[in-house]
Structure 1
């Protein structure tokens, strides 16, 4: 049989998925610990040996092998813009949508202190934006000069005011820097244009970052590491929502990915007000939006999760009214034992309480809010961000959800809450579970077979 081998070099696990292309079936999956410190192929080979055991009686012909990666910290970026709430925020959204982890956002003119901070950061790419087309160009040119004149030797994607492009090209060419120039992330005030920047970031990731992270060994085996893992998940989310040429999509949806270091939320929806009489304020929201919460993780970020939530919220989900559970000790243990697999009921309950907190807080940060103001003309309602109240599906992925006996209880913590109605979270969504870790794989498969990718996701995402 003809099959695709789809590989996700994850930050913790390397996951392999084998798809029978003709029957549109997943015929094997396996995972093993990612071995980025030594040779990433060690973990891959261990996972592949499991695949060989599953497929030993089948005559499988791999017609293609594709991969995505978030190993070695994934794609780490900073975004530089002009006004914090406008071009700087637009640049951040472009980077997040490309699958990056945005370490910091800089606004206005860079200082020498900030330049030193950038040079000392563990970065992969800089996204340089600033100014609408035809607007302020002095700031983005100043920042280009600061990067060039102070020895910043990182790939730079320029996506700012187009009238500054020629001068920036001259500055970076003279300094012998690796750069690429694309369309402005915010060509008009409050209007986003993030797709060109996302595509350029993906290209730089493939050309420059893969080799720097020691992933080139993997490229000798697979056809190519096409994109960061979060970008593959976002691709899968979008095609599942919108459908393909031959296959209808599910409509508006949200994906919640709870990991050891972060909780990612992807929403595919226009986010326009669902109630009459509501006005929208702020920067235009992307139809395909991704947010990353670096303080809401199950292992690496366990202590910061406790700090973000407070002990009271964790105790609420634990049902611990008598303060018997040592919250701090449990979180500290998970940071010190990042490969911990919960076994006792107490360990499982604590993990699931953390997951509920991560889901609740990450959704609050992702969705829009509504403000109620009394004026002489009567009550006014203003929406900031995306209204996701009518989203049809919430899809969960990540180990804590997949291994939970009640994943719907975790996902429900991200739903609309009458006690705090200002957050525009889903009210009547159905819950689906990525039980076999296929979302990133389907994002890869969609490159060649979008129709098949949609049908496979419909078949294998489990309703809970």
Structure 2
């Protein structure tokens, strides 16, 4: 059987392949999904990828599959490890952090100001995949970024470096790394002026660097031979799909609840009313990663947040037994109910950490209302992807509970927001598909989310 496009999602535990047909027509089709355990332990992720393709072949009832294109998303190397080094935490450091997270990175270290001996020690322990240096508005402070670049260059970490700080420093930074065996990327400043974010150029370069340099998982070089299109970090792919969708249907948030983390992506301009009182700028596209909120690997963290006694009363079950019998994919009604309770807590906690808030400042002129953080009050859609929200019976109800959780002074979605589920569980695949085929990806997104049925 000949397929137009196969998209592989090579995760840390599972590899999924999604097949798409009629990709060049006005009605592209999602034809099926195959999956298999990711084979990092065997020393070659290619084994798991081929097994997932075999599974798809079997599900489609054919003897073999050929394809025109194969694209991929990957988190099989343990994610995209980054460190971020800037000048002022609430300005350039925050801007650089937003760019890194939006591209699908996992940030392991953030430093503000001149890098210290303890920071350098930690940096060497982390062994990051990418180092991002920022600092200073354009034509402003120069010394901190130069100092940090010199200290980092001395470490010879063999990780590509992205410089996204004061534009005046670019030639100096190039000189610092000129004789080092390190690939340097100089991009536009992430914080070119006071209260102005410019994170998209850095975000794009991070994804390009990932594809070019970060093929560290066992067998990924062989996967590169099979894949003839882009490979991008899986969280970055979900963000790409969310951004594409926002241009079509308006402001939205996307929850991706997984076994190890809960990611929340928001793509919204915010309301005019809140924008007028924001004390610092926020990116249109923002992602937060909650590394303690996974419904399998970090299940006990969520149980502790809820409280065993409260959870036991809510479920009328022996919580210790449910914890003991907990599996990556729940099968019994009791296991499903348990994971649904964990998922709801993960969603509400991730929202609380992501959303902005209103507060009051008091001065000589009296009380002034200001806003800080991301304004979600005008989003039109609340979207759920990831196994916990797409494969459990109460996924839609869990997301609908957000609208009932409106807290005073929190910039949460309002009651008019519509809840959508990625029914085919293909949002990450469609994010990477949107690179070469944006129109087909958008059509398939609408179909999976059943937007036209709402």
State whether TM-score is above 0.5: yes
- SS at 1:281's partner residue? coil
Q: What residue number does 1:202 align with?
A: 207
Cα distance in 2 between the residues matched to 1:237 and 1:360: 20
Q: What residue number does 1:9 align with?
A: 10
Residue 64 (structure 1) shift: 1.1
Cα distance in 2 between the residues matched to 1:413 and 1:103: 32
Cα distance in 1 between the residues matched to 2:154 and 2:108: 23
Cα distance in 1 between the residues matched to 2:78 and 2:240: 20
Cα distance in 2 between the residues matched to 1:408 and 1:275: 28
Cα distance in 2 between the residues matched to 1:213 and 1:287: 36
Q: What residue number does 1:71 align with?
A: 76
Inter-CA distance 315–135: structure 2 relative to 1 (3 Å threshold): farther
Residue 305 (structure 1) shift: 3.2
1:132 aligned onto 2:137: yes
- SS at 1:5's partner residue? strand
Cα distance in 2 between the residues matched to 1:152 and 1:47: 35
Structure 1 residue runs without a partner (length 5+): 243-248
Deviates more, 1:205-214 or 1:161-170: 205-214
Q: What residue number does 2:313 align with?
A: 320
- SS at 2:132's partner residue? strand
Inter-CA distance 162–344: structure 2 relative to 1 (3 Å threshold): same
Inter-CA distance 315–104: structure 2 relative to 1 (3 Å threshold): farther
Deviates more, 1:208-217 or 1:386-395: 208-217
Cα distance in 1 between the residues matched to 2:442 and 2:269: 20
Cα distance in 1 between the residues matched to 2:172 and 2:353: 38
Inter-CA distance 306–77: structure 2 relative to 1 (3 Å threshold): farther
| 1:117-155 deviations in Å (ceiling 9; x for gaps) | 111114211111111111111111111111122333321
Aligned length: 446
Inter-CA distance 167–416: structure 2 relative to 1 (3 Å threshold): farther
Inter-CA distance 416–136: structure 2 relative to 1 (3 Å threshold): farther
Cα distance in 2 between the residues matched to 1:170 and 1:69: 33
Q: What residue number does 1:246 align with?
A: none
Cα distance in 1 between the residues matched to 2:147 and 2:274: 44
Residue 99 (structure 1) shift: 0.9
Inter-CA distance 340–54: structure 2 relative to 1 (3 Å threshold): closer
Residue 270 (structure 1) shift: 0.8
Q: TM-score, normalised by structure 2?
A: 0.91
- SS at 1:175's partner residue? coil
Check the 8 A contact 1:185/1:194 in 2, yes or no: yes
1:426 aligned onto 2:418: no
1:301-450 aligned at under 5 Å gives the runs 301-307=298-304, 309-311=305-307, 318=311, 320=313, 325-326=318-319, 333=324, 340-373=328-361, 380-415=368-403, 417-418=405-406, 420-427=407-414, 428-450=416-438
Inter-CA distance 28–450: structure 2 relative to 1 (3 Å threshold): same
Cα distance in 2 between the residues matched to 1:256 and 1:30: 23
Q: What residue number does 1:279 align with?
A: 277
Q: What residue number does 2:30 align with?
A: 26
Cα distance in 1 between the residues matched to 2:404 and 2:201: 34
Check the 8 A contact 2:259/2:328 in 1, yes or no: no
Check the 8 A contact 1:416/1:424 in 2, yes or no: no
- SS at 2:359's partner residue? strand
- SS at 1:355's partner residue? helix
Q: TM-score, normalised by structure 1?
A: 0.89
1:218 aligned onto 2:223: yes
Cα distance in 1 between the residues matched to 2:218 and 2:132: 19
1:83 aligned onto 2:88: yes
Residue 341 (structure 1) shift: 2.5
Inter-CA distance 122–268: structure 2 relative to 1 (3 Å threshold): same
Q: What residue number does 1:95 align with?
A: 100
Structure 2 residue runs without a partner (length 5+): none
